[in-house]
A and B are shown apart, each in its own frame.
Chain A
Amino acid sequence: MAINQHIYSDLDLTFLPSPATGDVSMKYDEQAVIRSIRNLLNTNLYDRLFQPDIGSTLNRLLFEPVTPLTATLIQNEVTRTITNYEPRARINTLVVSANPDGNAFNVALTVFIGNQTSPTAINILLQRTR
């Protein structure tokens, strides 16, 4: 069966219907892990019921001054979160740079997913939305 070819399979929390089947869309393998990392980084500590340790403090750090120091803190936080809660991803490179003009931080992350030999790049722009 085609499903069994995937190592990882997860729901997409956007709950948008798949254009092909009309069913809830799913994320597989690489995409599932990337989505998982995004979920973890977007989760604040204490957000998850009875599991206060899951998540990151990125939300709070975004309210700090956009300086290289904060960028370092964010880098540590991303590393901590992925190392602790996403065993499928192994960080290859991680560069967080402050972008004061855009009031944002650029996160350039490359990770090895599972047993992959080539890293997957994930670029995230962290920006306050309020």
Chain B
Amino acid sequence: MAGANSNMQLTNLDFDSIKSNFITYLQGQNTFQDYNFEGSGLNVLLDVLAYNTQYNAYYLNQVANEMFLDSAVQRSSVVSQAKVLGYTPKSAIAPTATVNVVFTGVTTGSLTLPAYQSFGSAAINGVNYTFTNPDSYTVNTVNNTATFQNVVIKQGVPATYSFTVDSSTNPKYLFEIPDNAIDTTTLQVSVQQSSSNSFTVIYNPASNFLQLTNTSQVYFLQEALNGNYQIYFGDGVLGQKLSDGNILRVNYLSTEGTSGAGANSFVLLNTVSGYPPSAVISVTSATQGGDKESIDSIKFQAPKSYAAQNRAVTKSDYISMIQENKLGISFDAVNVWGGEENSPPVYGQVFICLKPTGSYTLTATQKTRLLSEVISPISVLTVKPSIVDPDYTYIALTVDVLYDPTKTTQTASQIQAGITNAIQKFGTSTLNTFNSSFNAYDLLNTIQSYDASIVTSDFNLQLQKKFFPNLSSTQTYNLYYHTPLKKGVLLSGISNSPDIQYLDPVNKANTITGVFIEEVPSATYGVDTISVINPGYSYQLPPKVTITGDGTGAEAHAVIVGGAITAVNVTSSGNNYTSAIATITPQTGDTTGQGGAVVVNLQGRFGALRTYYYNANQVKTILNSNVGTVDYINGVITLNNFNPVGIDNPLGELAITATPTTSIISSTFNGIITIDPYDPNAITVNVTAKTNS
């Protein structure tokens, strides 16, 4: 058998390789020589041995895979690895809606809406979901009417389990909640002393292990092997220990996660103090729900949570902490940046921008809770965190498609609907988050690859800002498009939708409806201002400013203080400039001055906005010749002293549309570019059939 070891092939995993490996090994001896004949007894034994070896190798390979977070496949293995990193996988999160509930004919002075009433939603994809209010509300009745404002309801069914603590049957005091649909953010744990002593203590989730003592009334949560959650308690050193006879009660919502999101019409299914509800008015639709965390998400989040070490120091620490969804709000996207990156810089602050799942912004209460309960306790002392709302820039697309009807079975309207759908999917997958870019090539690729019959396609891009103007007071609104805007485009210049209503300036009792905004680009393109970008030094005399461009007549002179240029005053703005530069040269006799540099701002950079309407005779009438300005270069529209009295839209939302000079649009900081899924006019697809004659 000499030399057999030198032929050891330890990397073989499949049956044939292992068996041939054995045969090679047996060639080194001459006691048994029939190893190579299929009918021999030795060959049968080799089969058994090879099979056993393969079996073990496969098993060991699987075991080794499951031992590492990166390669584990089974949920229980991933969860167990995450546990080592101190990470508890997130449960499903109930979508939340707010409603107003009205009761009429109430004869008592006040009415209480107890917690956990059942609300039924209108069907979503054919399923009606149950919602419930986790809190109770009490209001005073006015004119026999009780109106509960902004009642928070969550999708789910309240569930309760109770366990009697008994060390003989459950020596580890480990209590499993047999419900896969639990929303652990709604979990309430209480411990009653015993069946004869009803003294009950509320236990809170353990968060900071450094602060736990032997009397801390806390519980720990973990995911069990079967995917259910388990509750366990302290050992008498870290957290208070339970004792036999204690009765443990858990209450929570059993939710269907994101399936119930989007519900916006509800009915109250039961009476309250004998009064049937007269109306349930939806205030906000059900949003911010989440599904049970996936294996991939656990693999992604657990190491980051560990790296953050329950401290918010770096950008990713904040993101990781916020995404643990401790308040039961789930987020589509989180962006964090330091105030020093702002323009102008705000030192000592961290800005956090959050896009909740299924909605646009957080409520003020949610922001306050998030700051005080989640972020502030773990952030660095001198750094002040603040939450800013996302700044949405909506993309409105007009797509023109030429297709060959001989190459498809689809009708024009099917292609139209299909492309609209494909663009929406493109928007959801590539936009709709922070630091994203609109990629024209990808868009055309999406359209082009929708169907083989599409010959060619083109698109026209417009940007929209949407806001809710304050109708009761005069305010100034700045709309940042973050990209240069096109000047005075015929029929697609700056416009608003829907139309707005103003008070008639002549007769305040009248309201003028059908008012629109339009832009008036500057007619003369002279030099507006000259900005100093480098003041230079050692100027003895104010240097000469020479303006060179395609127009004529512009003149300016420099002002120096202490040898440096502090300002350049334009004495004559000139005419017909579309581009210009200015150079600084020292005056004759000034031998030391140097380094000054300036840039020219042309008047055409700005435009004015005015409002107009069509009067009774269908004559276009200017209502206000100056309602705001447009900064074409920086892409900012300012509405000065904007005071409409009505917006022709049930929500009161006004959209201002502008055309960018480029189709390369990207978002930074709190900017989100999105294609509004709720706006039917966001995507317009024009389909033309190619004629082959």
Residues of A within 8 A of B (CB): 3-4, 6-13, 26-27, 32, 35-37, 39-40, 43, 48-51, 54, 85-88
Q: Besides A3-B30, A4-B30, A49-B51, 7 other CB < 8 A contacts?
A: A27-B41, A36-B39, A40-B38, A48-B44, A49-B47, A54-B38, A86-B39
The one of A13, A50, A88 that contacts B41, using a Cβ cutoff of 8 Å: A13
B38 contact set on A, CB distance < 8 A: 40, 48, 51, 54, 85-86
The one of A9, A51, A87 that contacts B33, using a Cβ cutoff of 8 Å: A9
Flag B237-249 by CB within 8 Å of A: 1 or 0 each.
Answer: 0000000000000
Q: Which chain B residues in 21-44 approach chain A with CB under 8 Å? A: 30-34, 37-42, 44
A50 near B30: Cβ-Cβ < 8 Å: no
A49 near B39: Cβ-Cβ < 8 Å: no
A-B contact pairs, 7 of them (CB 8 A): A13-B41, A26-B32, A35-B39, A36-B40, A50-B16, A85-B37, A86-B37
B39 near A40: Cβ-Cβ < 8 Å: yes
A36 near B37: Cβ-Cβ < 8 Å: yes
Measured in the bound complex, the distance between the Cα atoms of B51 and A51 in whole Å is 11
Q: How far is the CB of B673 from chain A (nearest CB, A)?
A: 57
A87 contact set on B, CB distance < 8 A: 37
Closest 8 CB pairs of A and B: A36-B39, A40-B39, A10-B34, A13-B41, A11-B41, A85-B38, A50-B15, A39-B39
Q: Which residue of B lies closest to A7 (CB)?
A: B33
Residues of B within 8 A of A (CB): 15-16, 30-34, 37-42, 44-45, 47, 50-51
Residues A51 and B47 in contact in the complex (CB < 8 Å), given A6-B33, A9-B34: yes
Measured in the bound complex, the distance between the Cα atoms of B30 and A27 in whole Å is 14
B33 contact set on A, CB distance < 8 A: 6-10
B37 near A49: Cβ-Cβ < 8 Å: no
A10 near B47: Cβ-Cβ < 8 Å: no
Q: How far is the CB of A65 from chain B (nearest CB, A)?
A: 28
A9 contact set on B, CB distance < 8 A: 30-34
Q: How far is the CB of B23 from chain A (nearest CB, A)?
A: 13
Measured in the bound complex, the distance between the Cα atoms of B37 and A14 in whole Å is 18
Q: Which residue of B lies closest to A86 (CB)?
A: B39
Q: How far is the CB of B648 from chain A (nearest CB, A)?
A: 76
Q: How far is the CB of B227 from chain A (nearest CB, A)?
A: 35
A85 contact set on B, CB distance < 8 A: 37-39
Q: How far is the CB of B374 from chain A (nearest CB, A)?
A: 57
B34 near A39: Cβ-Cβ < 8 Å: no
A13 near B30: Cβ-Cβ < 8 Å: no
Q: Which residue of B lies closest to A53 (CB)?
A: B38
Q: How far is the CB of B29 from chain A (nearest CB, A)?
A: 10
The one of A3, A27, A43, A88 that contacts B31, using a Cβ cutoff of 8 Å: A3
Q: How far is the CB of B644 from chain A (nearest CB, A)?
A: 80
Q: Which residue of B lies closest to A39 (CB)?
A: B39
Q: How far is the CB of A80 from chain B (nearest CB, A)?
A: 13
The one of B15, B40, B47, B50 that contacts A32, using a Cβ cutoff of 8 Å: B40
Measured in the bound complex, the distance between the Cα atoms of B42 and A12 in whole Å is 8
Q: How far is the CB of A21 from chain B (nearest CB, A)?
A: 13
B34 near A48: Cβ-Cβ < 8 Å: no
Q: How far is the CB of A42 from chain B (nearest CB, A)?
A: 9
Measured in the bound complex, the distance between the Cα atoms of B41 and A49 in whole Å is 15
Residues A49 and B15 in contact in the complex (CB < 8 Å), given A3-B31, A9-B32: yes
B41 near A12: Cβ-Cβ < 8 Å: yes
B32 near A11: Cβ-Cβ < 8 Å: yes
Q: How far is the CB of B14 from chain A (nearest CB, A)?
A: 9
A7 contact set on B, CB distance < 8 A: 33
Measured in the bound complex, the distance between the Cα atoms of B34 and A39 in whole Å is 13
Q: How far is the CB of B603 from chain A (nearest CB, A)?
A: 85
A39 near B44: Cβ-Cβ < 8 Å: yes
B39 contact set on A, CB distance < 8 A: 35-37, 39-40, 43, 85-86
Residues A36 and B34 in contact in the complex (CB < 8 Å), given A11-B42, A85-B39: yes
B42 contact set on A, CB distance < 8 A: 10-11
A11 near B15: Cβ-Cβ < 8 Å: no
Measured in the bound complex, the distance between the Cα atoms of B44 and A6 in whole Å is 21
A48 contact set on B, CB distance < 8 A: 38, 44, 47
A51 contact set on B, CB distance < 8 A: 38, 47
Measured in the bound complex, the distance between the Cα atoms of B46 and A50 in whole Å is 12
A88 near B16: Cβ-Cβ < 8 Å: no
Residue of A8, A50, A85, A88 contacting most chain B CB atoms (<10 Å): A50
Measured in the bound complex, the distance between the Cα atoms of B30 and A41 in whole Å is 26
Measured in the bound complex, the distance between the Cα atoms of B45 and A37 in whole Å is 16
Residues A35 and B32 in contact in the complex (CB < 8 Å), given A48-B47, A49-B51, A51-B47: no
